[in-house]
A and B are shown apart, each in its own frame.
Chain A
Amino acid sequence: MSPRLEVRDAVKAYGATVALARGSLTVEPGEVHVLIGSNGSGKSTLCKIVAGSIRPDSGTLRIDGREASVAGPTASRELGIGVFYQELSLAPHRSVAENLALGHLGDTSSPFLDRRRMRERAAREIARFADVAGPGLVANAPVGALRPDQRQLVEIMKCLSSDAPILVFDEPTSALDRAQVTRFFKVLRERQADGCAIVFISHRMDEIFEIGDRVTVIREGETVLTAPLEDTDADGIVRAMVGEAAADDRAGEPVVAPVGAEGGATVAARPSGDPGTFSGTRTDPLHAVLSVQGLSGGGCRDVSLEVRRGEIVGLGGLHGQGQSALLRTLFGLLPRRSGSVALDGEPLAANGPRAAIRRGLAYVSGDRGRDGTVTGRSILENVVPVHALLARLSLARPGSLRAVAAPALERLNTKYASLGHPISSLSGGNQQKVVIARWLTERPSLVLLDDPTKGIDLAAKLDLFTLVRELASAGTAVLLYSSEDTELLTHADRILVFNAGRVGEDLVGERRTRHALYRAAYDTADAAELAS
């Protein structure tokens, strides 16, 4: 019996950049096939080729043994492919019911909307997730008013409502909580039993092993491994993702442990060469660089904390509990409702980023496309803005600007051909390095890192954290929010666990374990939910 879906040797290049060099994928009916690879590896490109929103340069695609060409999203629908898009394909001003209906409008020949059909479809899909979705997920709610996890659920519903025999999910669980994921997997297994072929892209090891049957690993645009999941483990997959040689170099790099190891495991791994203890040697217990009292702003509530010179304070907890909001409020990107902030003893007014920068703050966002890179401009132009502000420059002399930019980029091992090239010519990881280098041209006293490693490859992450440690050793205070617990557990001196905008627990010293972190995050989450 031929596989339900077979992609062979798909190639896609954008000018000089090769997104996919040789992508292959085979999915059997009734199988959940996991597709994994680091960012820029080509897995999303492969997905979009199957979905029909990208035209491949070459390669074959077969459905049930017959060769097919997916000319566009409408064609993919006709071929029986339903897609969940990572960036979500929702219209924010339209209601949930309307969003679910958009793809089905062509099903009938009548020019008028079949409101009854729309209501029925919405009711059916919402019912599947009703008890885990939380309040607000109703048929006539505008999608833009929903929470991120709810929006993701709507996109899942959209995909499922296509009733297609081939389903492609590109990172469907990134904003979902445990209960929602469990329900989602239950639904997936029902589809599996019906003979659906499911492609599942994720970077969460625990989920992959929970739901997947086979896995295909893509590295640098090529399929490098396809195997049943029972024949491999997390280590093997990471090795395939990163490449054999590179994996050995990173002997000290903590590996994301599968879900079974959660209970009680202490993260012992540290990058080689590190002395081991954090407190005492470089933090100055007397000198609080940042002092926050009762700060409330767009998403954080009554937060009080202190960061000392040379200290790396981590912000933990479930996604979207106020960590990012705190950082953005401190930097002046979000308005302050109440509370006070002091920097080096002097009050810091809520006057926007320029004032914050002048006082020595730096802010790096994980959403570099939105808050970081000035796309279309050169690398040089992306590195100099902060320097231009602080040095009060009015003329932009290329020579002197280059002299400032190059060393900053060097500190992060940034790979680039020329400072005059557009920043878009760099890989994601290098782009993020450029954004960070922006702050290295000066000497910030407090660095706010807002999930800085989101979507960048392992090598770049390593360079980044090496730098963070250097900065801390030199006395810079660091506030670090990361959606990867391992990063927090490895690098932070203290971890403040957030819940519903408030700081729940402060994990120091021996209490910085994955177990304690999860417990603090979930326990108080339930308590906060009951209270609110």
Chain B
Amino acid sequence: MIRFAGAPLVMALALIVALLALGEALSPGFASVDQVRRLLIVAALLGIVAAGQNLVILGGREGIDLSVGGIVSVGAIVAGNVMDGANGAIVPAVLACVATGAAIGAINGLGVTVLRIAPLVMTLGMLGVLQGLLVVVRQGAPSGRAAPALARFVTEPGLFGLPGILWLWIAVGIAMALLLHRTVFGQRIYAIGSNERAAHAAGVPTGAVRVSLYALSGAFAALAGLCLIGYSGSSFSNVGEQYMLPSIIAVVFGGTSLAGGRGGYTGTMAGAVLLTVLQGILTTVSIDESGRQMIFGATLVALMLFYGRGEALRA
């Protein structure tokens, strides 16, 4: 019963095609194979972060993870330092950075479930702590280097012309679909997102599930951080900051409700691509920063008109 996101997915795909055409018109070469591949790599990075965000939002109770940006940066630094340019150290780097991300996420999850701090506030606080930590790290040791194999994995065309990272993203997509629709854990996620009290009364371990969601979000964000240094070679400290808002928007554009309990990951993947293409157009077209921000903000609002508007007061 793998459900497609239905209308939001179709809409997102249509918009992607439209935007690609627009981009090509405004700046020829925008929709070339090379460019599209580059856009997809960036979209994959966002998409991996958005996977974790998606899970947290699905879990309901105003679930959101504002600390993903910080975790991406931390993951990048951890991975970079463990790898330090050595191919042989890739596997330990992956393990170390995912474990770090999961641990940070678990702390978020515990704050939300045990202390019952609102997710917005908890993850916000965590972001502040991580940013402070990044300041310390920046003064100290160098932030490590990516291994050449990783860089190749992320940037160079591989099987069927798609770089390894895109295959990784596809694998994440399949794993998410299986997790959400073919496992008891997935059913439990939807249950706590739709009606936590009923889920609790039916024997669902609501606290444990929710903590896992935040841990997974941290793990995904850290993994994206690892891939990110593969993309850029080395990390500068606040590299992850730009992922927070887009990860949330990608989830919304994918048809997942911020209230939880509804939605899936396929739509989010399309949402990530959509957002990346949009940002790509704004970068290519030569307007200054102010115009770029204004257009971006306005476009986001306009696009949101099609996704999950709240219900009217008078039915």
- A contacts B directly (C-beta below 8 A): yes
A60-106 contacts to B (CB < 8 Å): 72
Chain B contacts of A384 at CB under 8 A? 187
Q: For the complex, is B314 an interface residue (Cβ under 8 Å from A)?
A: yes
The answer for the CA separation of A438 and B1 in the assembled complex, in Å, is 21
Q: For the complex, is B92 an interface residue (Cβ under 8 Å from A)?
A: no
Whether A385 lies near B1 (C-beta < 8 A) is no
Assign chain B's interface to a size class: 20 to 34
B260-315 contacts to A (CB < 8 Å): 261-262, 313-315
Q: For the complex, is B205 an interface residue (Cβ under 8 Å from A)?
A: yes
The answer for the CA separation of A233 and B127 in the assembled complex, in Å, is 68
Assign chain A's interface to a size class: 35 or more
Whether B187 lies near A353 (C-beta < 8 A) is no
Partner of B201, one of A53, A363, A388, A397: A363
Whether A386 lies near B202 (C-beta < 8 A) is yes
Q: For the complex, is A181 an interface residue (Cβ under 8 Å from B)?
A: no
Q: For the complex, is A333 an interface residue (Cβ under 8 Å from B)?
A: yes
Whether A53 lies near B182 (C-beta < 8 A) is no
Partner of A381, one of B185, B191, B197, B203: B191
Q: For the complex, is A357 an interface residue (Cβ under 8 Å from B)?
A: yes
User: In the complex, which residue of chain B has the Cβ closest to the Cβ of A72?
Assistant: B314
Chain A contacts of B262 at CB under 8 A? 376
User: In the complex, which residue of chain A has the Cβ closest to the Cβ of B193?
Assistant: A376
Whether A386 lies near B314 (C-beta < 8 A) is no
Whether A373 lies near B203 (C-beta < 8 A) is no
User: In the complex, which residue of chain B has the Cβ closest to the Cβ of A371?
Assistant: B201
A431-459 contacts to B (CB < 8 Å): 438
B169-200 contacts to A (CB < 8 Å): 181-188, 190-191, 194-195, 197-200
Distance in Å: Cβ of B155 to nearest Cβ of chain A:
36
Say yes or no: A374-B194 contact (C-beta < 8 A), given A388-B184, A394-B185, A398-B1: yes
User: In the complex, which residue of chain B has the Cβ closest to the Cβ of A352?
Assistant: B200
Whether A385 lies near B204 (C-beta < 8 A) is yes
Chain A contacts of B261 at CB under 8 A? 376-377
Q: For the complex, is A393 an interface residue (Cβ under 8 Å from B)?
A: yes
Whether A396 lies near B186 (C-beta < 8 A) is yes
The answer for the CA separation of A454 and B151 in the assembled complex, in Å, is 63
Q: For the complex, is A3 an interface residue (Cβ under 8 Å from B)?
A: no
Whether B197 lies near A377 (C-beta < 8 A) is no
Say yes or no: A54-B314 contact (C-beta < 8 A), given A371-B198, A375-B194: yes
Say yes or no: A353-B1 contact (C-beta < 8 A), given A377-B191, A377-B194, A388-B184: no
User: In the complex, which residue of chain B has the Cβ closest to the Cβ of A389?
Assistant: B203
Q: For the complex, is A395 an interface residue (Cβ under 8 Å from B)?
A: yes
Whether A381 lies near B205 (C-beta < 8 A) is no
The answer for the CA separation of A52 and B313 in the assembled complex, in Å, is 11
Q: Interface on chain B toward A: helix, strand, loop, or mixed SS?
A: helix
Q: For the complex, is A55 an interface residue (Cβ under 8 Å from B)?
A: yes
Partner of A396, one of B184, B194, B199, B202: B184
Chain A contacts of B181 at CB under 8 A? 396
The answer for the CA separation of A52 and B315 in the assembled complex, in Å, is 10
The answer for the CA separation of A87 and B205 in the assembled complex, in Å, is 30
Q: For the complex, is A365 an interface residue (Cβ under 8 Å from B)?
A: yes
Whether A374 lies near B199 (C-beta < 8 A) is yes
Chain B contacts of A420 at CB under 8 A? 1
Chain B contacts of A116 at CB under 8 A? none
Whether A354 lies near B205 (C-beta < 8 A) is yes
Say yes or no: A385-B191 contact (C-beta < 8 A), given A53-B314, A353-B201, A353-B203: yes
Whether A374 lies near B1 (C-beta < 8 A) is no
Chain A contacts of B203 at CB under 8 A? 353-354, 357, 385-386, 389
User: In the complex, which residue of chain A has the Cβ closest to the Cβ of B259?
Assistant: A376
A395-448 contacts to B (CB < 8 Å): 395-398, 420, 438
Q: For the complex, is A372 an interface residue (Cβ under 8 Å from B)?
A: yes
A351-375 interface bits toward B, Cβ cutoff 8 Å, 1 = contact, 0 = none = 0011001000001010000111111
Partner of B198, one of A52, A372, A395, A396: A372
Chain A contacts of B188 at CB under 8 A? 385
Chain A contacts of B194 at CB under 8 A? 374-377
The answer for the CA separation of A345 and B197 in the assembled complex, in Å, is 30
B233-275 interface bits toward A, Cβ cutoff 8 Å, 1 = contact, 0 = none = 0000000000000000000000000000110000000000000
Whether A385 lies near B202 (C-beta < 8 A) is yes
Of B194, B199, B202, B315, chain A has the most CB atoms within 10 Å of the CB of: B202
The answer for the CA separation of A371 and B195 in the assembled complex, in Å, is 8
Sample of 7 further A-B pairs with CB below 8 A, known A370-B195, A375-B195: A54-B314, A372-B201, A377-B191, A381-B190, A384-B187, A385-B204, A396-B187
**Which residues of B are in contact with A by a Cβ distance under 8 Å?**
1, 181-188, 190-191, 194-195, 197-205, 261-262, 313-315
19 contacts between A and B (CB under 8 A): A52-B314, A53-B315, A72-B313, A353-B201, A365-B201, A374-B191, A374-B194, A375-B195, A376-B190, A377-B194, A381-B190, A385-B187, A385-B204, A389-B203, A393-B184, A395-B182, A396-B182, A398-B1, A420-B1
